[in-house]
Each structure stands twice: as C-alpha cells, then as structure tokens.
Structure 1
Amino acid sequence: MEWKGRRQSDNVEDRRGQARGPGGFGRDPLGRGMGFPRGGMRRASGGGIGTIILLVVVFFILKAMGIDLMQVLDQGGMPGGGTGTEQTETVAEGGTAASDEMTQFVRTVLAETEDTWSGIFKASGETYPPPTLVLFSGAVRSACGTASSASGPFYCPLDKKVYLDTDFFRELEQRFGASGDFAQAYVIAHEVGHHIQNLIGVLPKFNEARQRMSQDEANAMSVRVELQADCFAGVWGRFTEQKGILSAGDLEEALNAAQQIGDDTLQKRTQGYVVPESFNHGTSAQRMKWFKRGFDTGDINACDTFSNPV
C-alpha cells in the first residue's frame, strides 16, 4: 500500500504511555463496544472471591497511606489529582509517539477512510462525521467501559471512537500469520465500518434488540453485524484501489487477515475444536466472502448481511 506522503487525519488521540484510570477491565455488560477478535472464546467478565479480598486489602493499605480511594474514584483521576492527560501530552511533545511511523500510518489510513465515506455520504446528500481513533497501550477507558489490550481493537458507539493498541498489529503478524500494511489497514477499516453502522442505525438497533435475545441468538446476530463491517471495509478497499495506491498482493493480505481471524480458525488454533453456536464474528470463509463482496462492488447496498444468507 503506497501510503507515505498522503494526507494524515487529525482525528487521532494518542494515549500511549497514559496511566490507566480506576475501573475494572472489560467493556460494558451490554457489549456495546464492537471489538476485533484476539483469539479463543469470549469469557464472561467478573472477579472471584479472591479478587474481592485483594481489593479490600488494597483499599485499607491506601487508606493507611492517607489516600482516599473513594475520592480518587469520584474525581476520575489518579492519586495526586492527575487525570493521566499530562502523560499523553508529554509523549506527544517529545515526538516519540506522535511522529513514529506507525502513528503516521494509522493517521493516513484513517484519512483514507474519511475521504471514502465523506464521498459516499455526500452522494446521498449527507455529511459524514468521522470517528476519533484513540491509540493506547496496555489499557484504556472509553464510554463503553475500561478495556485491556487483550480485548483487541474495538469501536465504542457511545463516544464514537475507535480504540487501537498498535501492538495488535505485531500480534496479527506473529501470532496469526497475517502480515502486511493492508492487513493492518483492514483492521482499521473494519472498526470504522462499525462507526458507519452506528451512524445509519444498525448498532443502536442491535444493542437494543440483543437485551431480549438469548446468548445464541445474540451471537448469531453479532455475526451479521461483524460481517457487514467487513463488507464496509471492503467498500473502502475498492475506493482505495481506484486511487491507485494499492500494491500487488494487498488484496491478498486483507483476505488472509480475514481468514486468520475467523471464529472457526481461532477456535481451532486455541482449543483444537470449534463451537459454532459461540461464533460472534463469522467463520474465515464468511469474513473473506463479505470483505471481497464490498471490494468487488464498492457498493454499501451490497453489504446487507441481514436480508441475505451469510
């Protein structure tokens, strides 16, 4: 992908190096954050009795040190009155995070998604409000809850932000065997696809409906949501190709990434067998199919995963 020297988006918030604020890991219990799979089956969040005892001990230790944990929680910051934003600014000013090549790549890909979707929305007489992409390391707080990097990239519809720990790109290559810059671009475009779903009402309807669904029903509907985001990523890929900035093999990189992160492939890799009723992102074949459909057509109307067999 010939991305260097192209416009970079200003809609990037760099929180790498920022201390994590109080709060437990895991996105909100309604699952409103739409994430990129990192491998294995999802586990329910929550802590056991050992976790509770540990928290109580920590509470009284901090109390003895003169730190009122409840006051810290109310202020939404860390002991000492800071919120963590100071560290973010220091990283940016130092130039070690804000100017590195990965940041430039992310800003460029995000800018390309802005150009594509602005054009599509404009053709329908609409204005496209782009998402903000948050770079983080370790853990991050969002309007959908606090998540660790183990959650993988995700989109939070409550604050309209994409969250990305760029270490995921290294894992994508080393653990999943999906290398290449266009494979990485596909990850970003997929999460932006969830932003599109949020704007057109798909995510709000899904999150409202799944509260009345069984887990199996919610998983099946989640698959259709995720596959549509893959298709939207493919639509972006088509417009990017038309600009002449894709290189030979780029499409294959994206398709390989889609294959490597299919639910069936991930489950075979991590546990040796598959549990179809637990799929919530789609099989490798489905993910490749819907990305390719978006790429081949360049038409969002071809991405109706709810009325068509997946």
Structure 2
Amino acid sequence: MSMKKSKWAIAIASGVASMAALMAVSLPTAGAADTTADDTTADEGPGTMAEVWRADFDGAAGTLPSSEDWIIDTGTGYPGGPPNWGTGEIQTYTDDPANVSLDGEGHLTITALREGDTWTSSRIETQRSDFAAPDGGKLRIEASLRLPDLDGEAGLGYWPAFWTLGADYRGNYWNWPGIGEFDIMENVNGVEQVWGVLHCGVSPGGPCDETNGRGASTPCDTCDSQFHEYALELDRTGETEYLRWYLDGQLFHTVSSADMDAATWANATDHGHFILLNLAMGGAFPNGVAGQTTPTPATVPGGSLTVDYVSVSVEQGAE
C-alpha cells in the first residue's frame, strides 16, 4: 500500500494506481489450521506450473486463520516504522475475530468496524517470505476475492488489497520501495474498478514514478457481489522479464525489465516476497480518488473483504 497524494484525483483518470508498502506490527496468533498444499518446491520440469502453497480457509466459523500460515498484523505501524502504515490510513488493525475470522464455509472475512469515531479492521501476511520465480522460470500468485459490497457515500474510505512485499522489508521498514511491492489487486471507495501496480526504485520519483508506482486499472462491476480471480505472474523465462496482472484470466497490465535499469528490476523482483491481504480505511489513495478526507460520517461500517483461497504456483526454469 503506497502513499498516494491528492494528485490521485488526476491519476485515476489515467488508470495509474498504487498501494503503499508500509504495514503493522506482525504477531503470530493461534487459530484453526487451513488446508494447505505441500510447501516443498515442485520438481516438475520447465513449462509446467505446479502449485507449491495454498490456503483454503477451512475451519470453524469465528476462528482465526492458521498461525502456521499467517501472521495477523496489529496496531497502527511497525515499531520504529512510519505511523499509520505510511499511507495515512486511519484504522487500527486487530486480531479480534470480529475483524478477521473464518466464516465456516471455507472463506476468510476481513471486516471494517466503527465504534464512535474509531475504526478497526485487519491485515494478515504469510509466514513464508520466500515466494519467488526461479531463474528461467515463473511465479504465479492468485486469490479468489469478493470485495466489500458498498458504493457511493456508503463506501467512501474502503481500501481492500491483495499484494506482496519483498522479504527484506521485514525488520527494516524503511527500504521501500526498493525491495519491490506487487499490488495484485486494490480497490477504493467501492468504485467498480480494480488496480494492479508495481512499486520499485526510490521515492519520490525513480523508474516507478513513486509514490504512484507503475500501474493500470480495469473495470469490474461485479467484484463486490461475486468472487473473482486476481493473479500476478512474474515471468523470467526469456531475456526480457515480465510482470503481468490478470483479472479472471484476462491480462490488463504489464511491466517489463526493459522499462527500467537492470539493478532496479532485480532489486524489486529477483528474491522472495510475502503475501498480504488487508482492508484499510481512509488514507491517501481513497482520499485522492474521492477528492475529500475519508471515511466520512456517511461511510457504512461492516463491509468485508472475503477470501476464498490464496495459491502460489511455480514453473521451474530449464537447466
């Protein structure tokens, strides 16, 4: 989740978006175990994508996601890191099942709630931070998500996201955006539109035009009422490497190693990442798109980001 300034009101028109990479203190919590695939690296040859990790969120209603797979981030920032996650978002993240829990039907729900003037929500990240594309191979990260079903004034300030950060962000908190951030899906204010963005290099400016990032958006008028598949692929099979963003299998954004210097690309992509899911409230991106401070008194609490599954697949490179 990257810092968006008020210029987002202009940026949305050009389809450029971004999400900041600054997050909450992460503390493991107990919870019901998810059903996961074998986490060993697949031994299939080149040309075959093999699932190497998966979370299906099976478990009793009201229980937390598996602490073997997930860290629940709590508070308003990493110790010693930027306040408000560096994005200006205003909620406090908790491990309260009212904010984050399994629904008993194979889904995870992350729900934003308000008590008085205080908003709470949740953010989770994978314990693993080694999801990477092998030399000469591919990495695919995907999830099936249903976005909060709120629009107009009722949805102002909602900021759901599915994204990754480079492994070296953990324990540093000040090396963004150089370590890379892949925003696989983000949405704000309940608009019928989703964004995919790469953050890289230096901020402000640099080859990823921070704090904007290199992004694009695509329409999605049923993303708040139905599950849709969001995916990112990192393709290292050729001389030019690519990041590709998909909605339900349809390509809508591409960034390649040819778009920047080799060192910046490698620093953003050529290493492990960890995966995040969160539902922020307010902050620079929704504020910029709305043209006002969000959330507002008209914003309706209780909207949820619902997750059916998350999976990681890898294609090995040719030896």
Q: Greater helix share, 1 or 2?
A: 1
Larger radius of gyration: 1
Question: When the two structures are superposed, what TM-score results if normalisation uses the length of structure 2?
Answer: 0.27
Give the TM-score normalised by the residue count of structure 1: 0.28
Larger RCO: 1 or 2 (CA < 8 Å, sep 6+): 2
